[in-house]
Amino acid sequence: MLDGSPASRFLSGLGAALGRPRAVVVASAHWATHRPAVSAAAWPETIHDFGNFDDRLFAMRYAAPGAPALAADVARRLAAAGIACDVDPARGLDHGAWTPLMLMYPDAGVPVVSLSVQPRADAAHHVAVGRALASLAAGDVLVLGSGSATHDLRRFRGQGIDSPPVEDARRFSAWLRHAAEAGDEAAISAVWDAPDAVSSHPTPEHLYPFHSRSVQGRARASCFTTPFAYGILALDAYGFGGASPA
């Protein structure tokens, strides 16, 4: 949000490239629950769920409206797929949700529904969640997965924003791109068997938004950009369902 990184520049142009959807459903790495949950607040608050960062970040507010009817629709779609889903009437937008959206749609004019991830579930569960929500696109709803292709903050200390990628993170980012572009659902569902997966993700929550968006209808992904930040964060961006890098 503050450093003008390649990832932030990409997101700043993405909203205009995609156009304005009717609403956004964003699966955020920063909302972890035992089973799926969606936010149904009419006016979700901005959650500053971090510490020891620049004061300018704590001053930011993203005042997008919610979409309670869409939240109920998401819950119905998941239930129809045999996936129980809770509806949270008070949940706000954590920084996994408002950070990309503030860059994509800075006027906060697009209604937003948040979707949680389940760190105790497996990758195949999140692929099933994504498949159940695939048809939302037909109703002009953008489904966004907000996480990180690699996320080992134990190695953050001493890294600058332009530090070269650490080797295992670089390898895992390349593996993920190959699997996604091939539409290899079996490999993506068994991601923790992939080389360097566990070292790149000591905890799974930052990868599961990718699964919640991936392989919908067995579509192959398009990789838009693969920027690194601080040497350890692969901030790769993918489009699914026929999206084009152009």
Q: Model pTM?
A: 0.93
Q: Within a domain: residue 88?
A: yes
Tell me the average pLDDT across 37-49: 97
Q: Which of 124, 107, 113 is nearest to 146 (CA)?
A: 113
Structure tokens at 120: 């105790």
Tell me the average pLDDT across 157-178: 91
Q: Within a domain: residue 70?
A: yes
Tell me the average pLDDT across 140-169: 91
**Contact partners, residue 193, CB within 8 Å, separation at least 6:** none
Per-residue model confidence (pLDDT) at position 221 = 85
Per-residue model confidence (pLDDT) at position 214 = 74
Q: Within a domain: residue 185?
A: yes
E strand spans, the chain: 23-32, 37-39, 86-88, 112-117, 141-146, 222-225, 228-229, 233-234, 237-239
Write out pLDDT tens, residues 58-114. Answer: 999 999 999 999 999 999 999 999 999 999 999 999 999 999 999 999 999 999 999
Per-residue model confidence (pLDDT) at position 213 = 84
Per-residue model confidence (pLDDT) at position 215 = 54
Tell me how far apart the alpha carbons of residues 75 and 98 are, in angstroms, rounded to a whole number. Answer: 21
Q: Within a domain: residue 246?
A: no
Q: Within a domain: residue 234?
A: yes
Residue in the block written with tokens 């593996």:
175
Per-residue model confidence (pLDDT) at position 217 = 46
Q: What phi and psi values does residue 35 have, to the nearest 5 degrees?
A: -140, 165
Write out pLDDT tens, residues 107-143. Answer: 999 999 999 999 999 999 999 999 999 899 889 999 9
Q: Within a domain: residue 1?
A: no
Residues forming a β-bridge with 116? none
Residue in the block written with tokens 């009717």:
22
Tell me how far apart the alpha carbons of residues 109 and 62 are, in angstroms, rounded to a whole number. Answer: 10
Count of structural domains, the chain? 1
Q: Within a domain: residue 20?
A: yes
Q: Quick check: 22 pLDDT over 50?
A: yes
Write out pLDDT tens, residues 191-218. Answer: 999 999 999 999 999 999 999 887 554 5
Confidence band for 51, pLDDT divided at 50, 70 and 90: confident
Per-residue model confidence (pLDDT) at position 79 = 98
Return the HEC string of 22-42.
CEEEEEEEEEECCCCEEECCC
Q: Which domain holds residue 175?
A: 6-238
Confidence band for 243, pLDDT divided at 50, 70 and 90: low
Confidence band for 44, pLDDT divided at 50, 70 and 90: very high
Proportion of the chain above pLDDT 90, given as a percent: 77
Q: Could you tell me the CATH number of the domain that includes residue 171? A: 3.40.830.10
